[in-house]
Structure 1
């Protein structure tokens, strides 16, 4: 554990139990949310790369129209 994180937990441990639980729930929710986003986007990198390549090829072949 980093010194900063350890220091934060030390300060949180001085708070009333209800506030400690609020911080704990917030941290857990953030970690779970981050895991969900990582899972959702882990498979999209290849798709995005293919879409970008298609768009670039279309642009080079003058198949694109200017949006105004």
Structure 2
């Protein structure tokens, strides 16, 4: 099924189901993001950012949230 076919099908949904679909898509997007972050962390791609944040904290350049 193509994106265009999906879009056309969505246009025919009742409003309640469009909202349900939007909620599902948001959750799915969050899951994909979480997976990507986990993969990046395991691969060490976040190490430089983490180390930089730790250095800034040690230097007193951060403040509590």
Q: Taking structure 1 as the reference length, what is the TM-score of the superposition?
A: 0.55
Q: C-alpha displacement at 1:44, in angstroms?
A: 0.6
Residue aligning to 2:15:
17
Higher RCO, 1 vs 2 (CA within 8 Å, ≥6 residues apart): 1
Runs (5+) with no aligned partner, structure 2: 45-65
Runs (5+) with no aligned partner, structure 1: 47-68
Structure 1 runs, 4 residues or longer, greater than 3 Å off: none
C-alpha RMSD of the superposition? 1.7
Larger Rg: 1
Q: Taking structure 2 as the reference length, what is the TM-score of the superposition?
A: 0.57
